[in-house]
Amino acid sequence: VQLQASGGGLVQAGGSLRLSCAASGRAVSAYNWGWFRQAPGKEREFVAAIRRMGGTTIYADSVKGRFAISRDNAKNTVYLQMNSLKPEDTAVYYCAADAYLILSSLRIQSEYDYWGQGTQVTVSS
């Protein structure tokens, strides 16, 4: 499966953005999906994930209540809705997919086989 992330940009603190991850080659419903981010000078970290079976979602504590991951099977796209953005949310955001993750592995980036190219999100104060 090929992943194409988009939707990043520059936004003021308190604003919103919606990131998209379009999949080609296979249906999004065949995979578990994750969003990760990497801020300048920092390691890439887990943001959110949605499980293939049942659609269970999990979030990093830092974004819980502000971000929402979702999946649109008809559009073959996974989204990350980001609200109440903060300057510390500034990072390159990556989508990732894998068909065989268990719930406890959804936060672990090394468990994902497929990655998008990243999209820059910049939040100004």
Report yes or no: 44 and 109 within 8 Å, Cβ to Cβ. Answer: yes
Phi, psi at residue 110, to the nearest 5°? -65, -15
Report yes or no: 32 and 101 within 8 Å, Cβ to Cβ. Answer: yes
Report yes or no: 1 and 25 within 8 Å, Cβ to Cβ. Answer: yes
- Computed from CA positions of residues 45, 55, 87, 121, in that sequence, does the dihedral angle turn out positive or negative? positive
Instruction: State the pLDDT at residue 9.
Output: 97
* pLDDT tens, residue by residue, 90-118: 999 999 999 998 888 999 999 999 999 99
Instruction: State the pLDDT at residue 54.
Output: 87
**Burial class of 70 by CB neighbour count within 10 A (0 to 12, 13 to 18, 19+):** middle
Q: How far is CA 8 from CA 25, 34, 47, 89, 120, in A?
A: 23, 16, 15, 12, 5
Instruction: State the pLDDT at residue 81.
Output: 98
Instruction: State the pLDDT at residue 7.
Output: 97
Q: How far is CA 61 from CA 26, 46, 47, in A?
A: 31, 10, 9
Average pLDDT value for residue range 24-30: 91
Instruction: State the pLDDT at residue 103.
Output: 87
* pLDDT tens, residue by residue, 34-90: 999 999 999 999 999 999 988 999 999 999 999 999 999 999 999 999 999 999 999
